[in-house]
């Protein structure tokens, strides 16, 4: 059995902007769960991979329009990033139960309540905002377990983690990623 408290949950690793600070006493601001649900829905939409049927005659026109929308979304994302102070991406691991990230000096000790802002997509309108408790330091990472959240938000987070985990496994198995490693 691993001494990593988040190892028992499906997770994925990525380089994402993350900001944290010791939580102030009290509750998270009202509306945090609804904002997280909207952000997860936006990330899901932004991450959708199109399934284009090459046999259809209108495929080229659809691809052209799809490309224009992608460019527009990227421009909007660039505008959002220019108006926000977003931290530099860093290695993180996200699961339905928590998040872990590397922290050097000043890592919060176990038992500390921490607020985390995690930016899942450069074009998403907002960061996910979570409150959790530091449960361990493992392998140079701080392991934070989320405090209980509404069931609907928990399900949306599980779907996000499952989709990203499945994609990372598929990417690792693809011939292109294997040939890049040699």
Its pTM stands at 0.78
Question: Quick check: 41 pLDDT over 70?
Answer: yes
Under the banding of pLDDT at 50, 70 and 90, the label for residue 66 is low
Segment 68-125, tens digit of pLDDT: 666 666 666 667 666 678 889 999 999 999 999 998 788 999 999 999 999 998 878 7
The DSSP code for 6 is T
DSSP codes, 103-133: --TTPPPTT-EEEEEE---TTSSS-EEEEEE
Question: Quick check: 15 pLDDT over 80?
Answer: yes
> What's the chain's average pLDDT?
83
Question: Quick check: 12 pLDDT over 90?
Answer: yes
CA distance 164 to 95: 10
Least confident of 21-25, 29-33, 156-160, 178-182: 178-182
State the Rg of the chain over Cα.
18
CA distance 104 to 80: 29
């Amino acid at each position: 059995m691993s001494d990593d408290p988040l190892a028992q949950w499906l997770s994925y690793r990525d380089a994402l902007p993350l900001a944290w600070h010791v939580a102030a006493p009290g509750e998270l601001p009202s509306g945090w769960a609804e904002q997280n649900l909207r952000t997860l829905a936006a990330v899901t939409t932004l991450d959708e991979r199109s399934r284009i049927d090459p046999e259809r005659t209108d495929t080229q026109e659809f691809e052209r329009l799809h490309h224009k929308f992608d460019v527009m979304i990227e421009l909007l994302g660039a505008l959002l990033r220019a108006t926000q102070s977003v931290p530099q991406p860093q290695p993180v691991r996200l699961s339905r139960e928590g998040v872990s990230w590397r922290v050097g000096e000043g890592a919060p000790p176990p038992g500390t309540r921490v607020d985390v802002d995690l930016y899942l997509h450069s074009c998403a309108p907002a960061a996910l905002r979570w409150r959790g408790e530091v449960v361990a330091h493992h392998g140079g990472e701080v392991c934070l377990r989320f405090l209980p959240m509404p069931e609907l938000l928990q399900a949306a987070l599980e779907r996000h983690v499952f989709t990203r985990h499945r994609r990372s496994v598929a990417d690792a198995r693809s011939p292109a990623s294997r040939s890049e490693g040699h």
